[in-house]
Each structure stands twice: as C-alpha cells, then as structure tokens.
Chains A and B, each alone.
Chain A
Amino acid sequence: MRRLRLFAAAAALPLATTVLLVTPARADDPTELIQDELRVAHAPDGTPQTVVISRVVTPEGDVISSTTETIDNPPFRAQDAQFPCLSEGNRPGFGPRKVEHLFYKNRNDMAEFAFFPYAADNARRDPSNYGFSKQWLICATGGADANNGSRTVMTGPGIAFRDSGQTYKLGQNWKEGKTPANYSLNLGFEVPTGFVTIKGQITQTPTAALRGSFRPPFKASEVDAFSRNGANAWWEDSCAPRCAGTGGSSNYQGSVVEALWQFPQDKPVAVSDFALSGFFMHRCSNPFGCR
C-alpha cells in the first residue's frame, strides 16, 4: 500500500510541474470563471481608453485573483454608427454631451459598450428654495460576443454618478424578465424627458434572463459604493453562476439601461463624474482550454 502511494505521487509530479510551468491565458482554463469589468478612462492627452479589471472569481463572486490593464480605444465612428441606443428629437435646453465607448478584444472574446449622455440646464426648480436644477440623462448599451469555446455567462452596461453620500438620481429604466426560447426579443423602450426622447433597442434570442439593479452585478465592483446613484442592466445565462459543460452563450448578448439625475444648477457636473462601466462574465467550455 505504501509503495502504491509513492508510485502515485511520483506519477503525479511531472503533471503538476507541467501545470505550474504553463501560465493559463484569460479564460483558457475551463475551471475558471472570469469577471471582466470595463471602465471608461482617458489618457492625460485625452485619448479615450478602456480600463479592464479582470477577476478570477468563485461562483459566489469571491475574488481569487485580479489584474488590471489599460488599453487605448480604437477610433470609433461617430454617433451614426449602428449602436442600438439612439436619441430622438433634440429640443431646446437638452443637448447631447460627449459619447463614450468601451472596447475590449482578445483572441476569444470581444466586448463593446457605448454611453450617450444628455443634459438640460434649468430643467426644474427646487421646492425648498426655488433654486434652479439641471438634469442629466445617460443611455447605455452594449454587450459581448465569445468565440473559440469561450462562453458569455452575463454581460451588460452600468452607469453611476460618483457620489456615495447624496442621492441625485431621479429614476432609471431597464428591461427585465425571463426571455423565452426560440423567440427574438426586442428591448425597445422610450422615455420622454420633456426635451428629448431616448430609445434603447437591441435584439437577441437568448434562453436566459434580463436583469437590472441599482447595484452592479459583480459584488467586487468598486462602483457599488455609488449604487444610490447607479443603474445597471445585464443579460444573464440561465446557468449562471454555476455553469458547466457548454453552459453560457457563444452569441452576442447584451442589454440597455438609462437613468436620470438632477443636480443644483451651480454644481459642476461632467461626463467624467459618472462611472461608465461594462460588465462581462465568461468561462471556457472546452475541457482542453479555449484557444
């Protein structure tokens, strides 16, 4: 019996050594569940960037390891690109602000998100002192497409005004519910804001769920600190978070979210005061790794 144990240990040694020598690439290891959190950023010279915070997590969302990298965005076409989050009928007083993008692509996965901000000066007056207030509305859309055996478990955009101490958010909108199999689902919705109408639209054929929350879908996300001013929406596969085998989607999946905030007119507010995020959780369905 003792000889048998020694033999087994000796046989296992080369295998263990091999495993230690090979550094698994992101999502190559079929045992890993990866949470990629993308965040809008800018280089000092103004170049649009995407910060990718990549976390290996347990199904419960506890972080095993984490890496961060910053990538310059590729040039994007202007707003006439076929993003499924469009504004209609700009009216006096409410105007578009700088559109922001997130983009991330490796050999297996591609994730892309777009954020469309609008602002209206002197939109309302505060009933306590009749001071003017301004409103900001941001519509966000996007998602991810996984290939080479990589599977999307959940993905969607998130927006939050970076203030944890005071609530400025007036409302939010997202699509929610179980999506039926073999049906094309349209996420269209419209919200009149008094000055501008926002229409969000994306078409997909999942057998999964659309969810939304004030809180981000990743419990390790630092954006959670701003949840009182946040809105997040995501597509989630029915296998989440304990996906196995071929669980997850190899098609493009995503969601749409929008929120409205109100600030005192004299409070300086810029697009950079909002945390604009893209969430993408994925795994590798190939037992030999995804390459």
Chain B
Amino acid sequence: MIPYSLLMSMVALVALAVGAPAPEFEAVAQDGRKVTLAELRKEGPVVLVFLRGFS
C-alpha cells in the first residue's frame, strides 16, 4: 500500500492547471474512428469529461 502523503504528492505532480497546454492524445472512439485532440479542436473548443469509475 502506498502511503497517503506519497500518493497525494504523485497526484499533485501531474495535476494540470488553467493556461497550461492540454496534453495531446490519440485514441480510438466508440465508433472505431481514430481521434486526436489536435483534430478535435480544429472544429472548436473541446470539453473533455473523465468519468468517475472503477477500474
């Protein structure tokens, strides 16, 4: 088990802030097409929702 304080510092290291560049990504969507953030934002702003969940 990782100590809580260490875990929180790991989270803090990767947390993003307003104004920072959004990490680029390439992924396969639910319909099988390949999407990239760069392509999506050509159309306009992108709202990225990360669902809560169990994994």
**A and B: partners?**
no
Q: Which residues of B contact A (CB under 8 A)?
A: none
Instruction: Tell me the A residues contacting B by CB distance below 8 Å.
Output: none
